[in-house]
Structures are given as C-alpha cells and as structure tokens.
Structure 1
Amino acid sequence: MIGLMTPDELEARLRETGARRYHIHHPFHRMLHSGKCSKGQVQAWALNRYYYQAMIPLKDASLIGRSEDQALRRGWRKRLDDHDGDDDRPGGIERWLRLTDGLGLDRADVTSTRLLLPATRFAVQAYVHYVRERSLLEAVASCLTEMFSPQIITERMSGMLAHYDYVTPEILSYFDKRPPQAERDASYALDWVKQHARTPEQQQAVLDTLMFKCDVLWCMMDALHYAYVTPGLISPGAFVPGDADG
C-alpha cells in the first residue's frame, strides 16, 4: 500500500502511469497512424470502436444518477451533451457514424453492433459495469485516460490524413472537437479526484482504476490485432473485411 501523497504527488503518479500504459503504444495503433493498415483493418477499428463511443453516454448517465453531489452532476452532464448532441447539433456518436459511413460501412451493421468482436463487447461492458458498481471516486477516476487522449487524437488525424487517400477531414470530423472537450473533462475529473482521494487507500484505488481503464483500451486493441493482423483469427459472426484475404 502506498503512503499518503499530496494531491500533486498523486497527479504525478497518475500521469506517469498513463504515460506507460495508455494504448497509444499499442502495435495496432502504430499501424493505424503510420499508414500500415489495410482499408479493411481501418474499417474493423472504426466499427468496433463505435461500441465504445455509443456506450459512453450510458456510463456517464449512470454516474450522474448515483451522485448526490449537485455540482458533480452539473459538471458531468456536459459529457452527455457532447456525445448525444441535440436536435440542432450532432453529438460525438453521430460524428463517429459519419466516419464509419465514409469508410464504406453500412450504418445499420455498425449501430446493430452484431459484427463486434466478442472481446470488444466484453471490454466495453466491463467498463460500464465498473462505473455503475464501484465507488463514486473510482467511477470518476475511470475517466482519467482523457488526460492522454489529445496526443493520440492529434497523431491519429495527421497520420490517417497523410497515409490513407480515402480519409478526408470531413470523415474525421469527430476528432475536431475532442481535444478541447477531453482537456476540459480530464481537468474536471482530475481536480475532483485530487480533492476527494484523502486516504492512502483511496489514492491507491484511483491509481488502480486508471490502470484498469488503460487495460480496457489495451484489450480492445489486442482483440483487433489478433483478429485482423496476426494470427488473423476473426471470431465467428464478427466483421470480415472485403480485403481479409489480401
């Protein structure tokens, strides 16, 4: 068990942990950003990642619903607006579907989630259940991977636009708004965690939660690599790219 840290020491430990374990280091992401993926592999990534995007509002709504802290509820509900949008403004889910549309995927196939890899479904559900069932401190801390997302988004946009001629800025419009949203959300969650993790046990729980969330994201990348790169064993019923044989 760690000793009691100052809030700034806790933040430093969190940043060091995320820097080591965030999925920006995964081989599949390196392939994706460097132009090494086939179009079918890019499609598989976008289709599977959709499930994560679609479940984020459910995760956030469950956190809001269990919090008696009015300030936390007010601060957190911005996330629902960002992902669900409204009648006049498309949210993140709709913008992600523009990505899958632009990649040539059938929208009904994507939104049905019937073509997901099983490991994608299990990993995302594990995240949703974690937020619903663990302490409120751990639920908030599970979002701290957002501290590291602006870097991966920047690399993703520049790399995909440079290497894939079928990818356009319009297709990647989801990512236009995410860096400032992620920075805002990460700052809010980090400040809340630093204020409320007051014991060594609570601080360890926050660190363990960040590792769990990094593991969720890494597991999703592992599943893509196993199915669509090597050894190339696609689960029965999962998406099969048109270029799977070459």
Structure 2
Amino acid sequence: MSTPFEERLRAVARDHYHDRHPFNVRMHEGDLTPQEVRRWIRNRFHYQRHIPVKDALILAKLRTPELRRAWLRRIQDHDGQRDGEGGIERWLRLGEAAGLDRPVLWDETGVLPGVRLAVDGYVNFCRLRTPLEAVAASLTELSAPDIMRTRIDAFERHYRWIEPEGLDYFRGRQDQGRRDGKEALALVLDWARTEVEQERALAALRFKCQVLWSLLDAVERGGARA
C-alpha cells in the first residue's frame, strides 16, 4: 500500500508533467508541421545528450558500489556500451528519419536559447543539490511510459512521413522508464524520512516538471524566430 508521501509524488509527476503542454497536445493530435516536428527533435536532442551528463553527476554522489552500479546502467542506456548503441544513437536515427542530418543535431549553435537555459538549469541542479533532490527530480520517469505509448501512436497515425524505425527511441523508453521510475521512487521513499526531506523531494520533482515545460515553451516560441 502506498504512503501519503508516495501519493503526493505521483500526483506531482501526473499533474505537472509536460504531456499537458500545448505543444505536446498538438503533437499528439497530429497538428504539427514537419518544420515544427524537426525543430522539436533538434532541440530536444540537446536535452537527450545531457541525460548521461546529469546521471554522471548523480552517480558521483552515491555512496555505495551497489547504488553506483545501478545508476551506471542509466548512463549506459543512453550512451550505449559501444558505438551504434544507446538512447542517444536512437535519437539521432529519429532525426535522420525526419530528414535531419547528424551534424545538424550535434551542432549546439542551433539550439534555442530557452532550451539551452532549461537544460543547463537541470544539469546544474543535479550538480549542486543533494542526492535525494537529484534523484527525486528524475521521478518524471513515473509518467514517461504513458507519454511514449501516446507518442508512438501519434507518430504512426499522423506523421507517416517519418520512417518507422525512427520511433525506436520511444519504444525502448517504455520499459526503461518503468524500471527507472520504480528504482528512483524506492530510493526517494527510503531517503526522505522527515517532513523537510519530503518537501525537498517534492520541490525537486516540481522543478524538473518545470524544466520540461520550459523546454517546450522555448520550442513552441521558436517558430516566431524561424
């Protein structure tokens, strides 16, 4: 049976997740233009490429080999254990399937300023805050599997001009997100024993939701600069 604290965490992850952002709503309803889809893929890659960076910062805060081994898997999930593997590689293939060359995705000069600010804020949060807060911020994973299923359905229905194999990133993140969310939740529930610690964990998760929301704000406004 879940505790009141766990229910509050799940409520934040559910009620403040970026699946409700107008840009994501339009994406899933099939209302984005090819230019908008490509702008999202390109700018979201700036976030994707920094996931293993923030996870390395969290890894350095963990005190036991068991915890470090478990968290190391997250880095391997995104970087792969060899060239041609991992979540970053699959996102690059998504870009290619949508007509974006790899050098364009890797070129940080094309990243929107608001996206850069949101990603820098999240990386620095994981660098400077406590292990509890850094891990709690990752609990957006509790909502990730559902949005991945919705996104796959939307892309298969509305964006058929994108090659199907480009959707492999979304397919892989369904199971990974469930596993990562479950493991991170167990850590937060174990570590946050006092009311102060619990409030810090909740604030960290709200912050991460704001990061993802701000990233989409920037992508949506980016059309005015195009």
Pairwise TM-score range, normalised by the shorter structure: over 0.9
The answer on 1:174 being equivalent to 2:169 is: yes
Counterpart position of 2:138: 143
CA drift of 1:87 comes to 2.3
Describe how 1:193-208 pairs up with structure 2 within 5 A. Answer: 193-208=188-203
Question: What CA distance in whole angstroms lies between the structure 2 residues aligned with 1:132 and 1:117?
Answer: 23
Question: What CA distance in whole angstroms lies between the structure 2 residues aligned with 1:7 and 1:175?
Answer: 28
> Is the helix fraction higher in 1 or 2?
2
Length, aligned pairs only: 226
Counterpart position of 2:71: 76
Counterpart position of 1:213: 208
Contact 2:98 2:163 in 1 (8 A): no
Counterpart position of 1:20: 15
The answer on 1:96 being equivalent to 2:91 is: yes
Structure with higher Rg: it is 1
Unaligned runs of at least 5 residues, structure 2: none
Counterpart position of 2:44: 49
Of all paired residues, the percent bearing the same amino acid is 41
Taking a change above 3 Å as real, the CA distance of residues 53 and 31 of structure 1, as seen in their structure-2 partners, is same
Counterpart position of 1:64: 59
Contact 1:7 1:195 in 2 (8 A): no
Indicate the SS of the match to 2:24.
helix
Question: What CA distance in whole angstroms lies between the structure 2 residues aligned with 1:67 and 1:182?
Answer: 20
Unaligned runs of at least 5 residues, structure 1: 1-5, 235-239, 241-246
Which 4+ residue blocks in structure 1 deviate beyond 4 angstroms? none
Question: What CA distance in whole angstroms lies between the structure 2 residues aligned with 1:113 and 1:156?
Answer: 25
| Aligned-partner residue type, residue 64 of structure 2 | D
Question: What CA distance in whole angstroms lies between the structure 1 residues aligned with 2:160 and 2:202?
Answer: 40
What TM-score does the superposition give when structure 2 sets the normalisation length?
Answer: 0.96
Contact 2:42 2:111 in 1 (8 A): yes
* Aligned CA-pair RMSD: 1.4
Question: What CA distance in whole angstroms lies between the structure 2 residues aligned with 1:184 and 1:169?
Answer: 25
Contact 1:123 1:219 in 2 (8 A): yes
| Aligned-partner residue type, residue 57 of structure 2 | S
What TM-score does the superposition give when structure 1 sets the normalisation length?
Answer: 0.89
CA drift of 1:105 comes to 1.2
1:176-223 per-residue CA deviation (whole Å, 9 max, x = no partner) reads 211111111110000000001011000000000010000000001111
Contact 1:146 1:186 in 2 (8 A): yes
| Aligned-partner residue type, residue 181 of structure 2 | A
CA drift of 1:224 comes to 1.4
| Aligned-partner residue type, residue 156 of structure 2 | L
Contact 2:58 2:127 in 1 (8 A): yes
Question: What CA distance in whole angstroms lies between the structure 1 residues aligned with 2:82 and 2:71?
Answer: 20
Question: What CA distance in whole angstroms lies between the structure 2 residues aligned with 1:80 and 1:101?
Answer: 23
